[in-house]
Amino acid sequence: MLALALMGKWLVEQIAVALNSYVTAYAQETARIDARIERLETLADEQARLTRTVESVKDEIARSSRWWERQATAYDDIIRSASRLCGYHTECYNNLRSGYVLTDEWTVKAEEKNRDALGVLERFRDSGGFVISTEAQESIRRILGRYDQQYGEYDADYHCRLSRLLLQEVTELKTRACRDLHVAQELSQGGLGIERVALLRQ
């Protein structure tokens, strides 16, 4: 009987040890699982924040790109218009110097194009401050302020003066456009063209 009692006690102790070992192992494994779950939840939160950040950056880039295109188009229109006026007065001056008589048909077409060009400049003078720089607006104001001023001079002198003024302003406008659009200064040596600007910007 004593042997059986001792054997039973020993078995109970062994069972208790095994059970305690199992419970301890289970608790440790549960803790590890909980830690992994917590890390996964943290990673999921980080992923969500990263996704939101990426989307926000994409939206900002899209807005920036649209704004840049709007600026580039504005400067393109302004410089083309000012260049058109410069070309007109340069051609008039050269023809007058050479004694060539401008035909009425040529004059009518040229003046119609000039009105369109002046209309573009007037539009940006009045409302371009949201798109172009203050310096560019001042350049437009100088062009328009002096365009119709003729100081009792000969026609050739008038066209010569305006062609020089316009050439200077066109050069300055191109320089400002390069600065504001963050593109290569190469643009100051050629036409602005939004497609060409976009290539140089890349």
pLDDT at 61: 44
pLDDT 10s digits, 151-162: 777 888 888 999
Q: Is 58 exposed, middle or buried (0-12, 13-18, 19+ CB in 10 A)?
A: exposed
* C-beta separation of 139 from 176 below 8 A: yes
* Mean pLDDT over each residue of the chain, to the nearest integer: 76
Confidence of residue 200 (pLDDT cuts 50, 70, 90): very low
Answer whether residue 194 shows pLDDT above 50: no
pLDDT 10s digits, 72-89: 999 999 999 999 999 999
Q: pLDDT: is 57 or 35 the higher one?
A: 35
Amino acid identity, position 143: I
Answer whether residue 67 shows pLDDT above 90: no
Round to whole Å and give the CA distance between 33 and 131: 58
Instruction: Please report how many Cα atoms fall inside a 13 Å half-sphere around the Cα of residue 117, on the Cβ side.
Output: 22
Q: Is 72 exposed, middle or buried (0-12, 13-18, 19+ CB in 10 A)?
A: buried
Domain ranges of the chain: 65-201
Q: Name the percent of the chain lying above pLDDT 70.
A: 61
| Residue the block writes with tokens 């939101």 | 52
Q: What is the DSSP string of 98-123?
A: HTPPPPHHHHHHHHHHHHHHHHHHHH
* Spatial CA neighbour of 143 closest among 158, 163, 160, 129: 163
Confidence of residue 186 (pLDDT cuts 50, 70, 90): low
pLDDT 10s digits, 134-155: 899 999 999 998 876 667 778 8
The model's pTM: 0.63
